[in-house]
Chain A
Amino acid sequence: EPEVTQTPSHQVTQMGQEVILRCVPISNHLYFYWYRQILGQKVEFLVSFYNNEISEKSEIFDDQFSVERPDGSNFTLKIRSTKLEDSAMYFCASSEVAGGGYTFGSGTRLTVV
């Protein structure tokens, strides 16, 4: 079964450093998303991406965050200057159609120290 692949599985970074989280969505999917989940809490929407541009973003997705699809397969989330409160599991997801079910990756656990 097709999977969404995320790397790395775990990233530890110092406060103030930049991190890039990487995702390879399912190849025939056109819609891409980033979500985060702080430990024990709900899954929070960050951003959706379609046709090489951001479709929607949440209030969490401030100027410190950016997304990019640098080539035909990768979809990245960059956090410019990490804060302690950015520590969370970050999930990438993709869907074939706008209203369809999302396939989530296994996540990247980001720890900011």
Chain B
Amino acid sequence: GQQVMQIPQYQHVQEGEDFTTYCNSSTTLSNIQWYKQRPGGHPVFLIQLVKSGEVKKQKRLTFQFGEAKKNSSLHITATQTTDVGTYFCAAKNNDMRFGAGTRLTVKP
């Protein structure tokens, strides 16, 4: 299955600061998905990126797929305490494999 590396493992920010998590693959991805898991919760689908260089926005969240379709990023502008959780990228080859996730904590 497709392996994706995700960094950083942890990120602690002050409320209002920006946050970015990165997902990298050694091979070209057909698509990439992003999920959010709140503490004690289950993964919730955020978005899927398919096209090279694609950029999608959801309010304060900006998702980007690299030109070579080997990396992706999720950027949150002006974090809020409700953004707390672990953000996973997931890449599909034959099956959907999740990155290790970036755990975001936000200090009010």
Binding site for B on A (CB under 8 A): 33, 35, 41-45, 48, 55-56, 58, 91, 93, 99-107
Q: Are A42 and B88 in contact (CB under 8 A)?
A: yes
CB of B78 closer than 8 Å to a CB of A: no
CB of B31 closer than 8 Å to a CB of A: yes
With contact pairs A42-B88, A45-B1, A102-B96 given, residues A91 and B42 touching in the complex (Cβ less than 8 Å) = yes
Q: Are A45 and B88 in contact (CB under 8 A)?
A: no
Binding site for A on B (CB under 8 A): 1, 30-31, 33, 35, 37, 41-45, 47-48, 88, 90, 92, 94-101
Q: Are A43 and B95 in contact (CB under 8 A)?
A: no
Which chain A residue shows the least CB distance to B88? A43
> Which one of A45, A104, A107 lies within 8 Å of B95 (CB-CB)?
A45
> Which one of A45, A104, A105 lies within 8 Å of B97 (CB-CB)?
A45
Q: Are A45 and B96 in contact (CB under 8 A)?
A: yes
Distance of A101 Cα from B35 Cα, bound (Å): 9
7 contacts between A and B (CB under 8 A): A45-B95, A45-B98, A48-B95, A99-B30, A101-B33, A104-B44, A106-B41
A100 to chain B, nearest CB (A): 7
> Which one of A58, A99, A101, A107 lies within 8 Å of B42 (CB-CB)?
A107
Distance of A91 Cα from B96 Cα, bound (Å): 14
Collect the chain A residues with CB atoms within 8 Å of residue B101's CB: 42-43
> Which one of A56, A91, A100, A107 lies within 8 Å of B48 (CB-CB)?
A100
Distance of A93 Cα from B33 Cα, bound (Å): 14
Which chain B residue shows the least CB distance to A100? B48
Distance of A102 Cα from B31 Cα, bound (Å): 13
Q: Are A101 and B43 in contact (CB under 8 A)?
A: no
Collect the chain B residues with CB atoms within 8 Å of residue A93's CB: 43
Which chain B residue shows the least CB distance to A101? B45
Collect the chain B residues with CB atoms within 8 Å of residue A107's CB: 42
The 7 closest A-B pairs by CB, nearest first: A101-B45, A56-B95, A43-B98, A104-B42, A42-B100, A104-B43, A56-B94
Apart from A43-B88, A58-B1, A104-B45, what 5 extra A-B contacts exist at CB < 8 Å?
Answer: A33-B96, A45-B95, A56-B95, A99-B30, A101-B48
